[in-house]
Chains A and B, each alone.
Chain A
Amino acid sequence: MTKSSSSAREAMEDEFLAFAAGRSGQLYRSAYFLTGGDGHLAEDLVQETLGRMYAHWHRTTRPGRSGQIADPAAYAQTVLVRQFLSHQRRRSNRERPAAVLPDRTGHEVDASLRITLTEALAQLPAKDRAVLVLRYWEDRSVEETATVLRANAGAVRTRSVRALARLRVLLGDSLAELAVR
């Protein structure tokens, strides 16, 4: 390696590490919701996503060229969701059995909201979760969500409506009670 190319590489690595340090929290929160509160799997997904980002990091630094990653943060969120879905496909037989939702009195510490929400999410099909997380946590439009999921907008809209309905049945009134406080 010549000196200049190795220092350029180190600069790129530093840049990546700064990115990873800055984004991993947000990625982790998305992963946590996507996995229905499975912290370990969420951690794996974040690591896989960052690994993938590292492999493609050179694409963030070639403006105007094909395959350029213009917005690494958004790209990483997309990678995360796709990793999650392909992970689910491979491990569909390892889905956790539907847990019985614990009775909530409605006035607990904030942890109860996290638990209630993720336990309900965990009972939805993976794609439903992906749609809900993208639309209501990451605040993406139907079109953006469709791009991430490689689906068409109509399908996303339909799935979104059905997923919301399922979640509403699972959560009953507890969501409203917990979220307003």
Chain B
Amino acid sequence: MFEVAPFIPFFVAAVLGLLLRGWLRAAVFIAVPVLGLANLWLLGTSSASIEFGHYSILDFNLLLFKADKLSLLFGYLFHIAALISVIYALHVRDTLQQVASMLYAGSALGAVFAGDLLTLFIFWELLALTSVFLVWARRSGRAYVAGLRYFTLHILSGLLLLGGIIFYAQTHGSLEFGPIGLDGTAYGWMIFLAFGIKCAFPFFHNWLTDAYPESTPTGTVFLSAFTTKVAVYALARSYPGTELLVYIGATMACFPIFYAVIENDLRRVLAYSLINQLGFMVVGIGIGTSLAINGAVAHAFNDVIFKGLLFMSMGAVLHVTGKINGSELGGLYKKMPKTTVLCIIGAASISAFPLFSGFVSKSMVMSAAIKNGHDWVWLILLFASAGVFHHAGIKIPYFAFFAHDAKLPAREPPVNMLLAMSIAAALCLTIGIYPQALYSLLPYETPYTPYDVTHVLTQLQLLFFSALAFVWLNLRHLYPPELPSVNLDVEWIYRRLVPDAMRALFNRLFALDDRLRSAAVGGVERLVEGVASHHRADGVMARNWLTGSMVAGVVMLLGVYLVLGWV
């Protein structure tokens, strides 16, 4: 057991990744999350609260590593996610991606174990800075502009966080990363909004659906694991029991499923469904009871794994066929049977089928909602659960692997991809069948039994009749076909409305400027013309004067002098 902050080995591995190639780099990249997880486990079981790595900037005492059960759970999760994603990306030769992904995973760990707000801020910005390279690594025009938008929003989130921290430090004289709450203070709202942007709150969610699907097949798997879960962790630490979060979460669980139904890019469908799952976690944090918080973090844990599995299966499809649009895919189960089965395990987990991981965590949040009198929220979450099954559980596997056979040339993905997916699938099943393994790691001691007759029966009824709706709609040709299209979302404001408005404004300004300039030029021209007109052949200034009239003038002048002398 070493007292070393978990991000350090990842950063060291990233530097080594620059120098090493081939199996040596692979060995280092696999060893770091495995050994890191073992070390963290020993640290976590050694004592109740652990902290080390004190340093100071200006007058503030900062802390690199502070752990309790909440941060330890996310720490374990991020090590597992890093391991799975690293294995999934082993075939990638692109050093930029490999290095960026290690730095990114390390930043997430740094943020989760940050002992104070300033340390959190540093890793918050590092998360944005390192992850944007995973978007750009696709090296397409779309990825480039999407990455720019992604980066801008995350920097905005970081600036809000920094502003909030400054106000917080002025008020409290400390930088403690603990409960903050929304009690009308400016810093409370600023930090809330900073966390909210990273957590893809409604109106700030489009960075996710914009950038994630534009990343590389392997990059998206890393992206889906860390950024939003760090935000969930930060919300759980600083804003538990904030009622506003219940309504924000319910909105997040609900609206993306409509988009997911009509979206064609299957990785974008998953991005929308990621927001939907975040909604469940945010509701749990908003309710704030020990059961609800446990449910939120347990669901975050499961979501990283099953959403990772789904992104991996779609990444495999993209890797093998070069296509990801539902309208171009279909019938791949014949050539990719293993990927199909693994994808279906992920789909069953996200849909919360009994014996799969989603079942044992989503229900905790729902049960907490109803126990705390949020009836309408419960109904919305129930609708969202049915909707998840509809778009992520059925649509993803159906349009990729079944439906009409697109007769694409395909084969199973490389063995490291299959291995990573198998590990994730095994975890989904293990947690689903033996939930106590996960429950024992949760921050609060609250007994909860997911498997009773009522719960299993009602969940199966909900899911089977959702599936029945899909079958009926499909047989009746009422199901919306997959169409190559773009669906407008909030991003339209900053991708179309504002640029158009700016363009119109500048055109107007240029026109005005043009008119002013031509008016000024015209004025000068008229002036020159006027002056010139007096000097031309017939002008006043160009006239000839008679000598006689000059003599008369002189005589008159002398006369005036004479008169003046007389007086």
Query: Real complex partners, A and B?
Result: no
